[in-house]
Amino acid sequence: MAQFVPRSSFQIPGTVPKTYFLGHHHAGASKIKTILPNISVVLECRDFRLPLSTQNPSLERAVAGRRRIVVYTKCDLGTDSSAARQSLKRIYGDNAVFWDKNKPATTTALLKRLKDSARTMDSLVGVRALVVGMPNVGKSTLLNSLRNVGISGKVAKAAKTGDQAGVTRKIGTAVRIVPSDDKGGVGGGVFLMDSPGIFQPYVEDGETMIKVALAHGIKKGLIHDEILADYLLYSMNRWDPTLYRRYCAPTNDVHEFLVAVAKKDGKLRAGGLPNIPEAAARVLSQWREGKLGRYVLDDLSENSLRAHQANIERPSQSMSQAKKHQKLDRKQTKESS
């Protein structure tokens, strides 16, 4: 039998959008600028599976000048890559924090950093912190965890959460996560505010959009599930083709793969025919739960990191050019729908 050879590249379909910058993203970015004078610490959340793809340069520029902690969320879904942590630590040093909602110790450690900040600032009115990031990177989940650990007995959600982009639409009210000194806490306490996920105005790389869609960072349906499943198949073949061996032998054919999934997991139409859309949705759900490998999707090699950083520092497009592309993409989408 011939040895299986995975695809060396992935062909990006022309239907993949280049933007998801919505009205509430623009409004949220504008609101952040107005409240920044009262913010001392910014917690910038990024999905650990997509540490580069969920970095928003325009958002970073908006919060420039504030003390910043880069929090890599969903580390439980990217546990197979200790090398990724080392690479990111080299970039941000102690300002990089790896957070896992299932490991209370990581919440406690982050809370301690915020308490230390409060002691350093010694503010009588308390320290104000703001959580920012791209859509669905776990900002609200982080806020709830910090509140539950920081304020004893507070187990109710302070921020609404969900597995789709756009659950948080407005800047939240300040939530106390550390009590004041007279109540057993630190200084005037620590208050944390949630913010809506803010997408980049324009993304030149269609592969980045696919990866963000895989992580539920854009609205479901903007990129067809079959395309996402095909990209995931391409990625699994590069990582370890045995990840899906319960379905079929290694293959580069997404239709063959999805037919096998449909038959194995009972995603069938009348007459026993495979239901390909349901099979694709099943595959994506399995991956999002960490059942098809726990890997980092972004390339964190030295060359990739240098190219990524150079693009952030010297973007190939100005903001006005990005907005023109954004309008053009929207017009083309309407015409084709």
Boundaries of every domain in the chain: 23-194, 224-289
pLDDT of residue 156: 43
23-194, CATH topology level: Rossmann fold (3.40.50)
pLDDT of residue 203: 83
pLDDT of residue 169: 47
pLDDT digit string (tens) for 38-95?
A: 899 999 999 999 999 999 888 888 888 889 999 999 999 987 668 889 999 988 888 9
pLDDT digit string (tens) for 177-202?
A: 988 887 777 878 899 999 888 988 87
Q: Does residue 305 have a pLDDT over 90?
A: no
Q: Please report, for residues 266, 272, 320, the alpha-carbon distance to residue 324 in angstroms, rounded to integers and kept in the order given.
A: 45, 48, 6
**Cα 150 from Cα 175, distance rounded (Å):** 11
Helix (H, G, I), strand (E, B) or coil at 229: helix
Residue 56's CB: how many other CB atoms inside 10 A?
24
Helix H or strand E segment including 33: helix 23-35
